[in-house]
Homo-oligomer: A and B are copies of this chain.
Amino acid sequence: MSIEREPAAPRLDVRDLRVVVALGRSGTTAAAAARLHLTQSAVSRALAVAEAHAGVPLFTRTARGLVPTSAGAVLLDAAPGMLADLSELERRVREPAPAPRRLRLVAECHMAYPWLARVVLRLRRTAPAVRLEMPAEHSLRAAEALAEGAIDAALLTSRPPPGFLSTEMMEDELMFLVASDHPLAAKGSLTPRDIASHELLVPTVRTEDARFLRFVFGSRRPRLRVERLAITEAIVELARAGLGIAVLSEWVAGPYLDAPEGGLTALRLRKGPLKRAWRLAHAPELDATAPLLADAIRAAQPRPRLSRG
């Protein structure tokens, strides 16, 4: 952030405007003081201050009261409008933000969508006026879409873009699936060497890579063989065919593990379960609606599949 120069501070103040307006309407300091709930001396001093701020005399003193100068007339002409504008702005600031008509929500990872659809039903009860949309085409760059205003809220595993709020939502576990007859299946858990020496079958989203690598290997990051696939079924089927290790969220891995055809074994890292933390990021103008959305998401989220660990 560069050291920009702030626009020159006005020397005139709201107090100056109010005093000038009251004096212009009253004609004497005593009458203006009554309007402003002050004393005559306070108004006299306040006028002196206002004139010092303006840099020119604003009223001509006569024995019968105060008569605006041409500078004072300019101020008297504009000041009531400015004060009204400020009051109107204050009213707008104070009034609660209107509930949005639509709310575009996107998750950073396709693997959330199977259960995310249920959020629509939940939110329909708590916020009937809001129509929840999920333009999934923004999933691969959810944070950028949020920053650009293309969507209103995003479920992220990465950090929200600068200037956006996010709330802690939940965790899911990334599971490692191999064919049940794969040599690794019998080991029970995976070592970093196992990860490095087999093909990894992962989704196309890359936001997780850094965390994944650090978690598994620490700072020494080997070259991996990675196959990125856009379709979850493809990842699963390649793994079932013994061609590598699928890395999938528990949210989508679960059904395949339970499926009657079987042939898949879930593994964890020996170091422990690999979890992802999810945040709900939202645009500032949604800060009233966001808690409702967060509640709906928490309620719709599936229970963790694996209780062990």
Contact = CB atoms under 8 A, between A and B. Distances in A.
Contact of A89 (B60, B82, B93, B94): B82
A10 B84 CA distance: 8
Given A71-B97, A287-B69, A1 B26 contact: yes
Nearest to A53: B90
Interface in A67-93: 67-75, 78-80, 82-87, 89-90, 92-93
Interface stretch (A30-38, A208-216, A251-259): A30-38
B165 A284 contact: no
Interface stretch (A11-19, A221-229, A266-274): A11-19
Contacts of A75: 89, 93
Contacts of A164: 67
A93 B25 contact: no
Contacts of A285: 70, 73
B7 A87 contact: yes
Contacts of A85: 82, 85
Given A74-B93, A94-B71, A60 B6 contact: no
B12 A73 contact: no
Contacts of A34: 3
